[in-house]
Amino acid sequence: MRTGSNLPAVGEYNQTLVLDLIRRSPEGLSRVELSARTGLSAQTLSNVTRRLAEEGLIAEAGKVISGPGKPRTLLKLEPRSRFAVGVHLDPVVDTVVVVDMAGHVVAHEEIAPQGEVPAAQLVAAVATAVDDILARAGIDRTLVLGVGVAAPGPFDPRGGRLLDPPLLPAWHHVNVRDDLGAATGLPVIVEKDVTAAMVGELWFDRSDALSDAMFLYYGAGVGLGVAIAGAPVRGRTGNAGGIAHIVVDPLGPVCGCGSRGCLGVSIEPRTLFAEAGYDPATGGDSRREVDRLVRDAAAGRPETVAVLRRAGERIARALVVANNLLDVDEVILGGPVWERLAGILGDAVSARVAADPASTATRAIEVRRSLVGADVAAVGAACLMLDGAFAARPARMMIAL
Ligand SMILES: [Zn+2]
């Protein structure tokens, strides 16, 4: 349990700590309960909750009678007191969401990627999409904390600038943080999409029990988001989580790196489509290819059933190898391609993870689906903005002191 400090210098930390506890308790918490959970004195707690109420972040919401003494006033989050925008830059479709303080998605838009146009035009299109979605949702701009952008890496070590993501050629060397910040007038955070997905999952886990976990993100590309002790792992340069070259099938397709059967190339929708004997789809929208695979497998087409079964084994091997390294509590699967495959492959992947002879796990590995859904990277990027402003992390207190 995280506890507070009664020293005046850590007032801001206490504020984030109390707000985080209230956020995770939709039914509300009384000051007595908050005091017990944080170790803060009644006086400090009273000051903290007053400041939060003054900023409109929490409100009193009725009284409860519990045992003798006077009824306790419940404090609840004001979800619409602040908002954050999340943007996911993706080769197939760019997603823009607005989330409120509770992490609920209050608006969602998809914009078709612009193709090969100058960087300034790309940034302007995203800025327009941000303006439009806020206007349509009727959100006061002064309540918007900022824009979180999720994108496939790699990033410049100083952050904010995309280097050369292979699936996003038009965005090469664009400084998303500075350029989009200038175009929108809002603070911008840029995060690798797999890390953003992990953040989204942490934010939605109200129990605060999600501690050591990994998130296999399966979209146009594949990557691993990692959380240790409840915090996302970014690595030194924000580029952690590259698992595309883990060999998962020694008889699999040849990868650009020279190996055979790397995870990325082995579960790429285009690869599965070709392995199942279809002609390449036109238009490059992998979602249509995946939908066809799912449809035909459900109808019992033997080649498609075999290809998806093998894809499940490949995914399971990657999860096992990663878990052998990290030894986590929870394994989460998500991303737009996985959301389409989960119904038909979820159980097979779980069973294969449990049976894989490469596993060194000493207890059952629980594999589950993302709580957030297909937009997890965009939602997670928005949650980064909320997180940056409000989540209590002891590490931040150490910096502040
Ligand atoms: Zn490779």
What is the Å distance from ligand 1's center to 262 Cα? 5
**CA–centroid distance, residue 121 to ligand 1 (Å):** 33
pLDDT tens-digit series, residues 161-191: 999 988 888 899 999 999 999 999 999 999 9
Report yes or no: 341 and 308 within 8 Å, Cβ to Cβ.
yes
What Cα–Cα distance (Å) separates residue 264 from each residue in 1, 242, 339?
38, 10, 17
Query: Which pLDDT score, from 0 to 100, does residue 2 have?
Result: 60
Give CA 194 to chain center in angstroms: 7
Q: How far is the CA of 168 from the centre of ligand 1 (A)?
A: 19
Q: What's the gap in Å between 267 CA and the centre of ligand 1?
A: 12
Res. 217 pLDDT band, cuts 50 70 90: very high
**pLDDT tens digits, 218-273:** 988 899 999 999 899 999 999 999 999 999 999 999 999 999 999 999 999 999 99
Does a cis peptide bond (omega within 30 degrees of 0) precede residue 154?
A: yes
Ligand 1: distance of its center to the CA of 274 in Å? 18
Question: How far is Cα 8 from Cα 17, in angstroms, rounded to an integer?
Answer: 14
Q: Distance, CA 268 to ligand 1 centroid (Å)?
A: 12
Ligand 1 centroid from CA 199, angstroms: 27
Ligand 1 center–CA 258 separation, angstroms: 6
Q: 55, 49 in Cβ contact below 8 A?
A: no
Tell me, in angstroms, the distance from the centre of ligand 1 to residue 350's CA.
Answer: 24
Output the DSSP codes for 29-81: EEHHHHHHHH---HHHHHHHHHHHHHTTSEEEEEEE--SSSSPEEEEEE-GGG
Position 397 scores a pLDDT of 40
Residue 254 DSSP class: B
pLDDT tens digits along 131-144: 999 999 999 999 99
With CA atoms as reference, report the closest residue to 193 among 1, 398, 384.
384
Question: Rounded to the nearest whole angstrom, what is the distance from the C-alpha of residue 361 to the centroid of ligand 1?
Answer: 25
How much is the average pLDDT of 19-48?
A: 91
Q: What's the pTM value of the predicted model, to 2 decimals? A: 0.88
Centre of ligand 1 to C-alpha 251, Å, is 13
Q: Which pLDDT does position 389 carry in this prediction?
A: 62
Complete domains list, the chain, with CATH: 8-77 (1.10.10.10), 82-199+378-390 (3.30.420.40), 208-370 (3.30.420.40)
| pLDDT-derived band at 8, boundaries 50, 70, 90 | very low
